[in-house]
Amino acid sequence: MAKLMDYLRVMRREINIRKGTDPNTHTQIKISKERHGSDYGGWNIKSGSLNRDSIVYSFGIGNDITFDQSVIAKYNVNVYAFDPTPQVKDWLAKQQLSEKFVYRDVAISAEDGTMRFYKPANPNYISHSSVPNGNDEYVDVPALRLKTIMDELGHTHIDVLKIDIEGAEYPVIADILSSGIKIKQLLVEYHHFFERFSKTDTEDSIALLNKYNYKIFSISPNGYEYSFLLAE
């Protein structure tokens, strides 16, 4: 049933691409890949690409850390997880976490400082966003550029960077690329389905990544989650 649903999502996306309502994007390179995490919170990475000394950053974890747990379980690698949402911090405090899961309650941003984090309009959701979403309630949270975070942690490169940051990915990606940071694999959820953004925003962001030699090797059936490999 799951495969059938994925097939139908892919077909619907292809129809929407032809109609001009979804980003006109397709995979750009073919590599062997492996999936980590749940149907909801999982991502594809390059097969066999990590080891215990790899550096993995995961931004925007919400209450689904199955991706992080799966990568830790297979590769015995540290995963540095970031999410400043107060409810996430409370939820994590109740979980049995591996010592390899290294958590910080800070947001990623295109500039250092604080970020206004809007609460979700649906009270059943946990993910907050720096993008106004119809709910005027918000909290102010600490926010840092990726370069600042890496400097604080003593890292000079990243093997896998996952960002699911509710619309903030567009300026953050531009800042990362201009910083010259070397990231071997970049996993991004694009939010062109938000009212504030459009398919053109996603197409432009991907074109910028292509300019810096990042190529798409996986797209989720719904067309939101993208996996990029730095082609060297």
pTM for this structure?
0.93
Q: What would the pLDDT profile of 57-109 be if each residue is shown by its tens digit?
A: 999 998 899 999 999 999 999 999 999 988 899 999 999 999 999 999 999 99
Three-state secondary-structure class, residue 77: coil
Q: Name which of 217, 232, 229 is nearest 26 in CA terms.
A: 217
Q: Could you tell me the domains of the chain?
A: 2-108+151-230 (3.40.50.150)
**pLDDT tens-digit map of 46-57:** 999 999 999 999
Average per-residue pLDDT for the chain: 91
- Closest by CA to 176, choosing from 209, 211, 146, 142, is 146
87: Cβ–Cβ under 8 A, 6 or more apart, which residues?
63, 126
Per-residue pLDDT at 134: 67
DSSP element (H, E) containing 139: strand 138-144
CA 194 to chain centre: 16
Mean pLDDT score, 39-46? 93
Q: How far is CA 218 from CA 13, 50, 115, 116, 143, in A?
A: 14, 17, 31, 32, 29
